Structure 1
Amino acid sequence: MGWENSNYQAPGSRTTRTNRTNRTELTPFQVRDSNGQVELLSGSPPDYYSSERQIPPPPRRNMTQQPSAPWWNPRYWRKRTWAIAVTIFIIILVIVIVVPVEVVKANRYPDYTALNYSLADEYTGTTFFDNFNYFEGYDPAEGFVHYVPQARATQLNLTYASSDSAVLRVDTSVGPSSVPDASTGRFSVRVESKTQYDNGLFIFDVKHTPYGCGTWPALWLVDSNNWPTNGEIDVMEAVNQASDGNQMTLHTTDNCQMNVKRIMSGTNLNTNCYNVTNDNAGCGVKTAADTYGTAYNDAQGGVMALEWRDEGIRVWQFGRSSIPSDISARSPDPSTWGTASADFPNTNCDISSHFRNQSIIVNIDLCGQYAGGVYADSGCPSNCTDYVANNPDAFTNAFWEFGAFEVYKAS
């Protein structure tokens, strides 16, 4: 075998040649044996960095970059993330727990389970006023009246009763030329039942309601010696021309609110019964225009029914033609009477602690805190006290007429 280089040079030397990419190539190296030539190396070595097959260098690693934290793992949360999470949790807690509690609270309502009532007291006939004491003197509510005792009321014919009616009225005899005159107040009457009550069902047959400029009549219950500690329940009340209907109101000490669920047909006026709020307006309910005054009297009046129990105080007003048969039969059952005109539930007012030891009161006040306070807006002439003092004929319609009062107790 012999060696042969096709481009011979001196021994020990290397011959290179440059291709078109200006890279060097090895010259083919050959050997020859007896069978002919054998090419051991031919062509240039592989180009590992050619543009046709380039392997990019590995990316440079940022040694300060941390692996991304999974959002669902609290271990990696920042303070801001925790604050957001806590806020969302509180909102969900309010929605899930607090809101249902408030809904339940807003829908609380006492259980007015039917009670069995039996007659306890009756005020009727010619002895109607024998069951009352006559309040004497100036009015506690600053009215422009002189409340007279029973003897004087009888002399002036301000109270009288027959077998089927009892009347209480304002004096119409004293005028500007009378001696004495009415310059310090007109004669009127206020009577208070001798019996005091802590609860019960009260049926009042009312045939005529007083009205006229300057008048402030009321049918109500109160403990005169402990007001407002023992509360006040106004069953019928209106002022001046009384053209906007009857008002039913509670007056109390603090912590008696009616901002709760109520079932009634009347219109709510105020929800806070506390006497120092809203100039002692109380928590009143107003009914339709024909529930007091001219329209009511023209329809021969009707019946007022007051249920006073621990669960709440409710008042119904029935026209003469719609008095329930169980009332007429003297076996009243409020559970059959439908929606009350006024509803004062015990939800946010402890009825038993706010109302006790109350007498039934009937009076006709003149001017005073209420009628006098709104007199200028009532469409009445002059000013309240001058009008009352100088116009006795203006009070011909200022009288109450009742059938009977019945008081029932639960057995």
Structure 2
Amino acid sequence: MLARCTLSLTALAAVLLLSSAALGGNYTLREEISGQQFLERFWFWSYNDPTHGTVDYVDQFTAVSNGLATVNANGAFVIRADNTTVVPPGQGRRSVRLHSRRLMSDGILVGKISFMPQGCATWPAFWTCTNDRWPAGGEIDIIEGANDQGPRNLASLHTLYGCHIAGGYRSDQTGFTGQPDCSYQPGCSASFTANSSYGPQFNQNGGGYFAMRRETGPGDPGIGVYFWPLNTAASNLPAAVSAIADGRAAPKYVVTNANATGNDRRELAKWGTPSAFFANVANSSASATALATGAEPVCQMQNFFGDHEIIINLSLCGDWAGETFGYSGCAAANGNVSCDNFVRNNPSQFTDARWEIDYMRVYDNAAASSGRSAQWLCFSIALALIACLTL
């Protein structure tokens, strides 16, 4: 019995690991979200703001009944900050923070956005993150900025200690990496080069498309964040990004690895170079000095990234927008008031503090369960088989 059980376990584990490797870079459409579907696929965070903003995040009932979560005439899902109320001292302006009900791990996240929050004191973010023990499990910031300090978007990672990326301009991204250490705050980040990728210029241009490709398993390339302005021809966009916008149905799967052939390879070529790229560099390829000091790029990503929620929010002031309110020019332009006083006493300044999201879609591994990876499935089945060894 022991010999048969051991042989079966070994054989099945090998098959599962081979299947997992084959599935890497082969992602299936799991969710396609637009309009009212956002109310079903996301839950509303109604707790204190972890980033200490002058903001009061409200529940779904309050958001919908007060017009803070709506669908506009164009069918876009809109979440916004309150722009009608003078807020008493010690309170925050009402706003919305959404968390996806389904988790995602490795795969592709796409969003077409027509409008993002703009204005002094605003701190909008579109990101993915573990749901506890931050930064264990990692954080990936796809869109982020504060006080209209664009016009270029900033993409970032936040991890535990031990993840470093290469700095400066590089051939594997179009952006510029100014912060190479990914640990905690401020994390590692890359500033985009496209002037229309954030804030007022993004909105004046009618919006655009963002995508994040997360491939963090052993031997995978890493994490890329992509941006295309709205005026990009649909023929120059991956179908997974442009579908719906150009009348086509979204493809059911996307292949990003070397197995891509034919149309899959043509689609892969349309991705081009990401605006921000964070390389997956195994510990075994780094020197002892790099591992000890971070003097060279090294980030064995399977050690730093777990299952993530997708989060869309708008904070006001707080740890970033509040800190930079003065030297951003916002204080001087508004009578040198504090960020907190500006937010509470000027509701009309937040008319443009809103997200308009046309659609979002998630592709992940074909073996995923609630966003978990094929490796997790292999591990779970193997544990069940191990039990037979004790019989």
**Shared topology, TM-score over 0.5?**
yes
Q: Structure 2: how far apart are the matches of 1:403 and 1:143?
A: 27
Q: 2:186 aligns with which of 272, 276, 281?
A: 281
Q: 2:163 aligns with which of 252, 256, 259?
A: 256
- Note if contact 2:238-2:268 (Cα within 8 Å) is conserved in structure 1: no
Q: For residue 377 of structure 1, give the secondary structure of its aligned residue in structure 2.
A: coil
Q: For 1:384, give the aligned amino acid.
A: C
Q: For residue 38 of structure 2, give the secondary structure of its aligned residue in structure 1.
A: helix
Partner of 2:111: 204
1:369 matched to 2:319: yes
Q: 1:124 aligns with which of 34, 39, 54?
A: 34
Q: For residue 343 of structure 1, give the secondary structure of its aligned residue in structure 2.
A: strand
- Note if contact 2:123-2:145 (Cα within 8 Å) is conserved in structure 1: yes
Unaligned ranges ≥5, structure 2: 1-22, 244-249, 255-266, 282-297, 367-391
Partner of 1:290: 196
Partner of 1:85: none
1:142 matched to 2:52: yes
1:358 matched to 2:302: no
Partner of 1:401: 356
Residue by residue, what CA displacement relative to the aligned partner does 1:159-200 show, whole Å, maximum 9, x if unpaired?
112573100100012115xxxx36421111111000111111
- Note if contact 2:149-2:328 (Cα within 8 Å) is conserved in structure 1: no
Q: For residue 216 of structure 1, give the secondary structure of its aligned residue in structure 2.
A: strand
Q: Structure 1: how far apart are the matches of 2:89 and 2:67?
A: 17
Aligned-residue offset at 1:388: 0.3
Distance verdict in 2 for CA 1:321–1:265, change over 3 Å: same
Partner of 1:341: 275
Q: 2:207 aligns with which of 288, 301, 305?
A: 301
- Note if contact 2:151-2:200 (Cα within 8 Å) is conserved in structure 1: no
Q: For residue 373 of structure 1, give the secondary structure of its aligned residue in structure 2.
A: helix
Q: For residue 136 of structure 2, give the secondary structure of its aligned residue in structure 1.
A: coil
TM (norm. structure 1) is: 0.67
Identity of counterpart residues, as a percentage? 33
Give the alignment of 1:14-163 within 5 angstroms: 115-161=25-71
Aligned-residue offset at 1:334: 4.1
- Note if contact 1:262-1:344 (Cα within 8 Å) is conserved in structure 2: no
- Please identify the structure whose Cα radius of gyration is greater: 1
Give the length in aligned residue pairs: 291
Q: Structure 2: how far apart are the matches of 1:132 and 1:114?
A: 27
For the aligned residue pairs, the C-alpha RMSD in angstroms reads 1.9
Q: Structure 2: how far apart are the matches of 1:147 and 1:262?
A: 40
Q: For residue 225 of structure 1, give the secondary structure of its aligned residue in structure 2.
A: coil
Aligned-residue offset at 1:357: 1.5
Distance verdict in 2 for CA 1:334–1:239, change over 3 Å: farther
Q: For residue 155 of structure 2, give the secondary structure of its aligned residue in structure 1.
A: strand
Q: For residue 195 of structure 1, give the secondary structure of its aligned residue in structure 2.
A: coil
Q: 2:150 aligns with which of 243, 246, 252?
A: 243
Q: 1:225 aligns with which of 101, 108, 132?
A: 132
Unaligned ranges ≥5, structure 1: 1-112
Q: Structure 1: how far apart are the matches of 2:119 and 2:89?
A: 17
Q: For 2:173, give the aligned amino acid.
A: M
Aligned-residue offset at 1:226: 2.5
Partner of 2:181: 272
Report which structure shows greater RCO (CA 8 Å, sep ≥6): 2
Aligned-residue offset at 1:129: 1.9
Q: For 2:349, give the aligned amino acid.
A: A
Q: Structure 2: how far apart are the matches of 1:283 and 1:359?
A: 20
